C-alpha cells in the first residue's frame, strides 16, 4: 500500500489528493509524517495560518527524530545548515561551507540522507552543498526529483552521470575541477539544463 501511494505522488507530484491519501494512510499507522503532510497541504490555502503553523512547529519539535532520524534532527535543532519543508518532506537542504576557511566535511551528511534515514529526502528538489569536500555525485542518484543542485567549489570532477537526472534544471559547479569536454557533452545531452561553471586553470 505504501509503495503504491508513494508511486502516485511521484507520478504526479502536484496532485493534492495523492498527498492527502498518503497522509491518511500514515496517520492510520500512527506515523507523524501523515499529520505533517496534512498540515502543510492545509497551509497552502488557509486564510488563518497561525494555528496550523503553531501545531506544525509543535509536531516537529516533539517528533523530530521520527520525522528526520536521530542524527539529522539534531543537525537541524542545532542550526547546522538549513532546510525547507514541503508537504511533510524536505524540499530543500543547504549545507554551506563558504563562511569557513576550509571545506566542510560532508561525508557523514551524505551517508545520513542517502543511507541512514533517506525517507525525509525522497522528494527533495533543491540540494546545496557549496564549499564542501563532496567528491562524487554517485550517492545522489536516489534524489530523482532534484531540480537544482549547487556543488560550487567542491571536489566533484565528474558530472557525466547527471544526464540521468531528468528533472534537473539548474546545476552550479563553479570552481569544480570538471573538464570542459565533460561539460560540453552534458550540455549537448541536456540542452535545457542551466549550468554555472568555470573552466579549470582560467
58 and 73 both lie in a single domain = no
What pLDDT, on the 0 to 100 scale, is given for residue 162? 92
Q: Return the CATH number at 95.
A: 3.80.10.10
46 vs 201: which has the higher pLDDT: 46
What pLDDT, on the 0 to 100 scale, is given for residue 76? 84
Mean pLDDT across the stretch 25-52?
Answer: 96
125 and 76 both lie in a single domain = yes
89 and 163 both lie in a single domain = yes
Torsion-angle region of 69 (φ positive above 0: left; ψ -120 to 50: alpha; else: beta): left
In this structure, the number of other CB atoms found within 10 A of the CB of residue 73 comes to: 19
44 and 59 both lie in a single domain = yes
Domain boundary among the residues 64, 87, 105 is at: 64
Where is average pLDDT lowest: 69-73, 84-88, 99-103, 144-148? 99-103
Mean pLDDT across the stretch 160-185?
Answer: 93
What pLDDT, on the 0 to 100 scale, is given for residue 90? 96
Mean pLDDT across the stretch 159-167?
Answer: 91
Is the torsion defined by CA of 114, 118, 124, 128 positive or negative?
Answer: negative
Asked whether the predicted pLDDT for residue 53 surpasses 90, the reply is: yes
200 and 187 both lie in a single domain = yes
The helix (H) or strand (E) run that includes residue 102 is: none
Range of the domain at 194: 69-202
168 vs 76: which has the higher pLDDT: 168
151 Cβ contact partners less than 8 Å away, ≥ 6 residues apart: 129, 130, 134, 137, 171, 172, 173, 176
138 and 120 both lie in a single domain = yes
How high is the mean pLDDT of the chain? 92
Asked whether the predicted pLDDT for residue 202 surpasses 80, the reply is: no
153 and 184 both lie in a single domain = yes
The whole-angstrom separation of Cα 99 and Cα 130 is 10
How many separate domains does the chain show?
2
What pLDDT, on the 0 to 100 scale, is given for residue 75? 86
DSSP letters for 122-174: TT--EEE-TTB----SGGGGG-TT-SEEE-TTSS----GGGGG-TT--EEEET
- Tens digits of residue pLDDT in 89-123: 999 999 988 777 778 999 999 999 998 889 999 99
C-alpha cell at 181: 569536454
Entry field: residues in the chain: 202
What pLDDT, on the 0 to 100 scale, is given for residue 144? 92
Closest CA to 175 of 154, 194, 192, 190: 154
Asked whether the predicted pLDDT for residue 80 surpasses 90, the reply is: no
102 and 21 both lie in a single domain = no
Closest CA to 177 of 158, 157, 192: 157
83 and 44 both lie in a single domain = no
91 and 189 both lie in a single domain = yes
Asked whether the predicted pLDDT for residue 183 surpasses 80, the reply is: yes
Strand order in the sheet with 89-94: 82-86, 89-94, 126-128, 148-150, 170-173, 194-197
81 and 169 both lie in a single domain = yes
156 and 181 both lie in a single domain = yes
What pLDDT, on the 0 to 100 scale, is given for residue 36? 97
Q: Are 174 and 150 in contact (CB under 8 A)?
A: no
Amino acid at each position: 500500500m505504501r509503495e503504491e501511494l508513494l508511486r502516485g505522488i511521484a507520478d504526479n507530484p502536484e496532485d493534492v489528493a495523492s498527498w492527502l491519501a498518503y497522509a491518511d494512510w500514515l496517520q492510520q499507522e500512527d506515523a507523524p509524517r501523515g499529520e505533517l503532510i496534512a498540515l502543510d497541504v492545509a497551509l497552502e490555502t488557509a486564510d488563518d495560518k497561525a494555528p496550523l503553523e503553531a501545531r506544525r512547529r509543535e509536531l516537529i519539535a516533539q517528533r523530530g527524530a521520527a520525522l528526520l532520524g536521530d542524527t539529522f534532527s539534531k543537525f537541524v535543532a542545532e542550526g547546522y545548515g538549513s532546510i525547507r519543508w514541503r508537504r511533510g518532506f524536505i524540499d530543500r537542504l543547504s549545507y554551506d561551507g563558504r563562511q569557513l576557511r576550509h571545506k566542510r566535511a560532508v561525508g557523514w551528511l551524505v551517508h545520513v540522507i542517502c543511507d541512514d534515514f533517506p525517507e525525509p529526502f525522497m522528494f527533495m528538489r533543491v540540494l546545496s552543498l557549496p564549499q564542501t569536500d563532496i567528491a562524487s555525485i554517485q550517492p545522489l542518484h536516489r534524489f530523482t526529483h532534484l531540480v537544482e543542485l549547487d556543488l560550487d567549489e567542491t571536489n566533484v570532477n565528474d558530472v557525466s552521470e547527471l544526464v540521468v537526472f531528468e528533472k534537473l534544471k539548474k546545476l552550479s559547479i563553479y570552481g569544480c575541477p570538471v573538464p570542459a569536454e565533460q561539460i560540453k557533452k552534458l550540455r549537448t545531452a541536456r540542452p535545457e539544463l542551466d549550468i554555472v561553471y568555470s573552466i579549470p586553470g582560467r
